[in-house]
Amino acid sequence: MIQQKKLRKTIPLTESQSRRLHELSEFDGLDPLEHSMRAIDEYLRKQNIDIQPPKENEIQAELKNLTAESSTSGAFWISGTVDKYEFSALFLKLPSKSGIDKGKVSKLSIWDPQVLEDSKSFIGACIVNYDRGWDIKPSKIAEPLYNKVKVLLDSSGEQYIKKRRLR
């Protein structure tokens, strides 16, 4: 059997579901995990979902708010939107070893506000999360959104901070 990639999220089965899964496995001799994977694959095939990543030139991103980080001199929280998602980033005065690509962005979260509202789970709503290291790396679908935010922060972050300071 092919070694499956381990996922971070788990789906708990009810006692009845677990019992039926084991009964089915005893009946045909297949591993319960194999049955689960087949059921998931069949479900996804039936969904007929063709998800395409957005094109970067069609993505709208905007910086919205700036807040000084009280615990770190010269650091600012910058928030904004990227398409239907929201983001927040800790932008440092100087590049850092712990920053993304050893740059000035030390923390970055991109999340779906609707999922956050429905689930009340910030991490569950995140499509990207970097906190001095990757917690949730951008998927193929999230990568263009992440790239748009990263370029926006790298190219406009310092100007945005200077502009807001002058007000």
φ, ψ of residue 103 to 5 degrees: the values are: -105, -155
**Mean per-residue pLDDT over the chain, rounded:** 83
Alpha-helical regions (H) of the chain = 15-28, 32-47, 113-119, 122-125, 143-166
* pLDDT on residue 27: 85
Q: Does the pLDDT at position 4 exceed 70?
A: no
The predicted model gives 71-88 an average pLDDT of: 92
* pLDDT attached to residue 16: 87
Residue 2: the pLDDT is 43
| pLDDT per position as a tens digit, 9-39 | 566 778 888 888 888 888 888 888 887 778 7
Q: What is the spatial order of strands in the sheet that 76-82 belongs to?
A: 61-68, 76-82, 85-91, 105-111, 126-131, 134-136
Q: What is the pLDDT of residues 95-150, one digit of tens each?
A: 999 999 999 999 999 999 999 999 999 988 999 999 989 999 998 889 999 999 99
Q: What is the pLDDT of residue 5?
A: 43
List, for residues 46-78, the tens digit of each pLDDT value: 766 666 778 888 999 998 988 888 888 888 999
Are residues 148 and 56 in contact, defined by beta-carbon separation less than 8 angstroms?
yes
Domain boundaries, the chain: 15-47, 57-166
Q: Does position 164 have pLDDT exceeding 80, yes or no?
A: no
Q: Confidence class of residue 6 from pLDDT cuts 50, 70 and 90?
A: very low
pTM of the model: 0.67
Task: Please tell me what DSSP assigns to residue 101.
Answer: G
Greater pLDDT, 134 or 162: 134
